[in-house]
């Protein structure tokens, strides 16, 4: 009953990817294609200075679904994807390892947020917290520097572009610094954005255990 009532939050008449009738967010065919993009072991990248838990490979159906979320204004995609990410987190038994967390989505700059109307990372974080029961803080970290698109930049240019791009607000500064933080984003590429956000938080005494993302361009051989 709980499962059905939770899924009912995401019900929609038409699939946002193909516009065919759908009982849930996606039609059965698009859901099948999305399932083919997910990693068998989402914790393959849960290592290093900024461990990564990721749902799937940024390709094919998953790439189209994220585009439909961000550019076709389908916010319900973000929440259901966050729910999927929460499932993977639980299956990996990370809930037992981290019984208490503050979840912070990677923020958009205010101008980008105004243009898009929502922060896709925040929607994913909401779905994630809905499943896991973790505390969501969507105002503690802000983006104070409007950066250009990073995909055309080399690693050094990306690092320079994102230098001091984030700041902590009073909504996080008053929180208990003993509670670890998990960052959330939609796509993890080189990790430059996430690492800059991590640095901003760590410089103020907060502990960042890693980042959760729906997709990554990384391969498991990296």
- Enumerate the domain spans of the chain: 39-216
- pLDDT 10s digit of each residue in the chain, 222 long? 445 445 555 555 799 999 998 888 999 999 999 999 999 998 999 999 999 999 999 999 999 999 999 999 999 999 999 999 999 999 999 999 999 999 999 999 999 999 999 999 999 999 999 999 999 999 999 999 887 666 676 677 778 878 889 999 999 977 778 899 999 999 999 899 999 999 999 999 999 999 999 999 987 644
C-alpha dist (Å) from residue 205 to 104, 143, 163, 165: 15, 19, 19, 18
Q: Which residue has the tokens 């520097």?
A: 145
Q: Which pLDDT does position 139 carry in this prediction?
A: 93
Q: Which pLDDT does position 20 carry in this prediction?
A: 92
Tell me the C-alpha distance between 190 and 155, whole Å: 8
Residues 6+ apart with CB under 8 A from 70: 116, 120, 186
Q: Which pLDDT does position 2 carry in this prediction?
A: 45
For domain 39-216, the CATH architecture is 3-Layer(aba) Sandwich (3.40)
Residues 6+ apart with CB under 8 A from 38: 55, 56, 57, 62, 84
In the three-class reduction of DSSP (H, G, I as helix; E, B as strand; rest coil), residue 73 is classed as: coil
Name the strand (E) or helix (H) holding 111: helix 110-116
Q: Which pLDDT does position 1 carry in this prediction?
A: 43
Residues 6+ apart with CB under 8 A from 148: 161
């Amino acid at each position: 009953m709980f499962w059905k009532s939770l899924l009912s939050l995401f019900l929609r008449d038409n699939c946002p990817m193909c516009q065919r009738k759908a009982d849930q967010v996606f039609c059965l065919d698009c859901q099948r294609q999305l399932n083919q993009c997910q990693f068998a072991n989402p914790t393959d990248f849960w290592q290093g200075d900024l461990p990564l838990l990721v749902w799937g490979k940024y390709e094919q159906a998953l790439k189209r679904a994220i585009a439909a979320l961000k550019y076709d204004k389908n916010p319900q995609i973000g929440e259901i994807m966050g729910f999927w990410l929460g499932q993977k987190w639980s299956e990996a038994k990370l809930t037992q390892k981290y019984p208490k967390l503050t979840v912070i989505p990677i923020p958009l700059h205010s101008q980008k947020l105004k243009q898009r109307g929502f922060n896709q990372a925040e929607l994913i974080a909401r779905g994630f917290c809905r499943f896991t029961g973790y505390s969501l803080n969507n105002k503690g970290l802000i983006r104070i520097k409007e950066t250009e698109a990073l995909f055309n930049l080399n690693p050094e240019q990306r690092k320079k572009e994102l230098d001091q791009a984030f700041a902590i607000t009073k909504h996080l500064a008053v929180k208990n610094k003993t509670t670890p933080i998990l960052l959330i984003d939609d796509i993890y590429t080189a990790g430059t954005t996430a690492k800059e956000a991590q640095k901003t938080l760590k410089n103020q005494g907060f502990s960042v255990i890693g980042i959760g993302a729906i997709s990554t361009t990384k391969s498991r051989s990296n």
